[in-house]
Structure 1
Amino acid sequence: MRSPVTTPAAGGDARPRPRDMLRYAFRTPAIGPLAALVVAVVAFAVTTETFLTPQNLSLVLQQSIVVGTLALGQSLIILTAGIDLANGAIAVLGTIVMAKLVLDGGNPVTALVLGLVAATLVGLVNGLLVSRLRLPPFIVTLGALTVVYAVARLYSQSRSYPVTSGLLLFWGNGLGVGGMFLTWGTFLLVGLYGFFWYVLTQTAWGRHIYAVGNAPESARLTGIDVRRTVLSVYVTAGLLYGVAAWQSLGRIPNADPNSYQTANLESITAVVLGGTSLFGGRGSVIGTLIGALIVNVLRSGLTQAGIDSLYQDVATGTLVVVAVGVDQILRRSGPR
């Protein structure tokens, strides 16, 4: 059978056709986002004087850590054709639990564990409602968004808590490399993405996630426990949101119940810009990592170019719509 990206030429040779190569690039989840990231970096490097400075590049990486970890959990859920609007609120709850317990005299290790457990439990509840009661993920997580933020405010009495524990601040430490300051949180982020890339591409659980996102009924008929797979994804995402809470305390040593109000939208933006389909079953976590970098590169570059933050939101929102539109077109076109 002839390759979809080649066409017979004179003498029997097969030469790649530009149109088919472009289609192949679009259908490879990480290629398009990587090209967009390179274009954005080059554009801002040319139009601004400070974008490529080590200090600014360090800041971009640091700003990508929390959103990148939230987007990783979001990716797992979106791959099953779900969505999570509560991930930012769950991370905030985790920071409040960790910081308040330590400030009240608790052991930092215990506080950390309880913060991770609290985030994971919320993921478990969301997963049970989606997988067992078959409620729409949008409605479940929209309700969780309001409830979890309210619980965080009630538990914190609407106060913020400064963090001084070395354990909770750990991911904000790091080392200098070539004039850049790389925090341990950056290395953790890369490690998490590498781990879940391997899990999704090389394990049965990863294949089940893609199968459920593509066609849940077909997955069920092939013997996959769809409900258990979906539940496990929400629980895993909840744990990742707890890790994001820990990372956020390393970046900003203050637990504020009003923080990360738009983190859910930013994580969804990173996932979509990274080439993962909102309809489930297609995408790569490597693309999501690139998408998180794109979001922060755009904000940093546009800010240094003197562009008003409202126009930055317009640009980001437009990119999301375009990315979803491209995905929809490719899904309709089907394999050729």
Structure 2
Amino acid sequence: MSTRPPGRTGRGAPVIAPTADAPGPRRPRAALPGWARRLASANETWTSGVLLLLVAFFTAARPDTFLTRYDLTQIATNAAIYLVLGVGMTYVIIVAGIDLSVGSVLVLSAVLSAEYTVHHGGAEAGWGTVAVSALIALATGLLWGALQGWLVAKAKVPPLIVTLGGFGAALGIAQVVTGGQDPTGAVPSRLQHTVGFGKLFGQVPWLVVIAFTTTLVFGLVLTRTRFGRHTYAIGSNPEAARRVGIDVDRHLVKVYALTGLLAGLGSTMWLAYFGTTSIAGHSTDNLKVITAVVLGGASLFGGRGTVLGTVIGVFIPAVLTTGLIIMDVQQYWQDVAIGVVLVAAVYLDQFRRRGRERG
């Protein structure tokens, strides 16, 4: 029979018997499902919230004039061109680059396209001229972007310097070609009446259809193809990408060429909608597009970003601008507001980055 005193173990440690009043072990709180946690932490969720807040604010401030069917159509149409530019900028920012020249490349592409139209029928030109003019715009943007990509990848010039130089050079060439004046008779009426003002099934503007299709195609390329995976890999760690066999230099040239190509597409959309090259009207396009992409969650340090986020980011300035116009805010203050939004977006990007590093 054991001689140990009750309440003791073999090593002499006291044994505490549970009592009816003693609380049991705490049960962990039910955690959110994995999909819910991912949704809550996704940047697109937060940017969607910001967009909804802006819509709610302007709707409350101007309930009779904001968020009407006409306003929704105008917002989508005005955002369409910047969305096309933003898709290309998303790729560039994911590879830790930047492109300050998109507005000037759009102008140069529009000018060269318009010059061909002027000498081949002008406003009364047929569909053959329209097609060739569009191809000239696309080719101009593609070649200019590829040149900038080569300077970044092969000549090792920082992308900020390359594209800042491209910003001035492209605009300067456009002004030399036109003498600084928007050419007259530069847009065929057929292009304006169909792509510019026409609507699919009489409801959806063709500009919106083009922007949506472009977004869908290159969104799938980014998420479902090897080209997209290589884009993320280079932005995250270019040296590691080289070690696993990715031709980083060639890929960078392709990315910048893609951005130029989409700027050329944007120029055709601009000509169709506005009927002019608007040489002096694109100085802040780069600011607007970069704002949209960063608002959408793309990191300026590379390796992160989505086309879906860019879609949301494009509509935030579009809604902001439309709301400020309805509230009779001067144009100058609109530019100030967009600049403030950009700075805030970059700050939040760095704040989220530091939070992830600490976590």
- TM-score after normalising by structure 1: 0.89
Q: What is the CA–CA distance in structure 2 between the aligned matches of 1:112 and 1:190, rounded to whole Å?
A: 19
The residue number in structure 2 matching 1:3 is none
Structure 1 residue 201: deviation in Å? 0.8
In 2 relative to 1, CA 309–126 (structure 1 residues): closer, same or farther, beyond 3 Å? same
In structure 1, give the amino acid aligned to 2:274.
I
Cα pair 2:85 2:266 within 8 Å, conserved: yes
What is the 5 A alignment of 1:295-310?
295-310=317-332
Paired with 2:274 and 2:343, the residues of 1 have a C-alpha distance of 31
Q: Is the 8 A contact 2:241 2:248 kept in 1?
A: yes
Whole-angstrom CA distance in 2 between matches of 1:320 and 1:125: 28
| 1:173 aligned onto 2:197 | yes
User: What amino acid does structure 2 have at the position aligned with 1:327?
Assistant: D
Shift of 1:169: 5.8
SS at match of 1:255: coil
Distance 2:339 2:137 in 1: 32
Q: SS of 2:199's equivalent?
A: strand
Whether 1:225 and 2:247 are equivalent positions in the alignment is yes
**Structure with a larger share of its residues in strand:** 1
The one of 97, 101, 112 equivalent to 1:86 is 101
Q: Give the counterpart of 1:99 among 98, 114, 120.
A: 114
1:29 aligns with 2:53: no
Which deviates more from structure 2 when the two are superposed, residues 277-286 or residues 136-145? Answer: 277-286
Which aligned pairs between 1:209-248 and structure 2 lie closer than 5 A?
A: 209-248=231-270
**How far apart are the structure 1 equivalents of 2:308 and 2:237?**
23
Query: What does residue 254 of structure 1 align with?
Result: 276
2-structure distance, mates of 1:169, 1:84: 32
Measured in 1, the distance between the counterparts of 2:111 and 2:153 equals: 28
Contact 1:120 1:238 in 2 (8 A): yes
Distance 1:157 1:286, change over 3 A: same
Q: Give 3-state SS (helix, strand or coil) of 1:88's partner.
A: helix
Per-residue deviation, 1:32:
1.6
Give yes or no for contact 2:130–2:191 (8 Å, CA) kept in 1: yes
Give the SS at the match of 2:31: strand
Is residue 15 from structure 1 mapped to residue 39 from structure 2 by the alignment?
A: no
Q: Which runs of 5+ in 1 are unaligned?
A: 1-8
Mapped contact 1:62–1:186 kept (Cα < 8 A)? yes
For residues 64-92 of structure 1, the C-alpha deviation after alignment (integer angstroms, 9 at most, x for no partner) is: 11111111111111111000010010011
Structure 2: gaps of 5 or more residues: 1-24, 122-128
In 2, Cα distance between the equivalents of 1:304 and 1:322?
A: 24
Q: Show the 5 A alignment for 1:146-161.
A: 146-161=168-183
CA contact 1:102–1:165 (8 Å) conserved in 2: no
- Describe the shift of the 1:218–1:26 C-alpha distance in structure 2 as closer, same or farther (beyond 3 A): farther
Name the amino acid aligned to 1:322.
A
C-alpha distance 176-45 of structure 1, shift in aligned 2 (>3 A): farther
2:53 to 23, 26, 39: 39
**Distance in 2 of aligned mates of 1:133 and 1:84:** 16
CA distance in 2, matches of 1:188, 1:325: 33
Provide the C-alpha distance between the structure 1 equivalents of 2:218 and 2:155, rounded to a whole number of angstroms.
28
Report what 2:16 is aligned to: none
1:269-307 CA-to-partner distances (Å, cap 9, x unmatched) read 111111111111111111111111111100111221233
Q: Shift in Å at residue 27 of structure 1?
A: 4.8
Tell me by how many angstroms 1:213 deviates: 0.7
**TM-score relative to the length of structure 2:** 0.84
Instruction: Select which of 41, 59, 62 maps to 2:77.
Output: 62
Once residues 176 and 221 of structure 1 are traced to their aligned partners in structure 2, the CA distance between those partners, rounded to angstroms, is: 48
The one of 180, 192, 197 equivalent to 2:219 is 197
> Aligned in 2, Cα 1:54/1:176: closer, same or farther, shift over 3 Å?
farther
Give 1:135 shift: 0.8
Q: CA deviation at 1:310?
A: 3.3
1:211-231 alpha-carbon deviations (Å, 9 max, x no partner): 111111111112111111111
| 1:46 shift after superposition | 1.2
Q: Give the Cα separation in 1 of the matches to 2:279 and 2:96.
A: 29
Q: Which amino acid aligns with 2:46?
A: G
Report the RMSD for the aligned CA atoms in angstroms.
Answer: 2.2
Counterpart Cα distance in 2 of 1:224 and 1:193: 25
Report the AA paired with residue 148 of structure 2: N
Please say if residues 192 and 273 of structure 2, whose CA atoms lie closer than 8 Å, have aligned partners that are also in contact. Answer: no
Separation in 2, partners of 1:330, 1:291: 17
Q: 1:212 to 1:168 in 2, by over 3 A?
A: farther
Structure 1 residues 157, 39: CA separation in 2 closer, same or farther (over 3 Å shift)? same
Q: What secondary structure, in the 3-state scheme, does the structure 1 residue paired with 2:105 have? A: helix
Match of residue 65 from structure 2: 50
Matches within 5 A, 1:137-148: 137-148=159-170
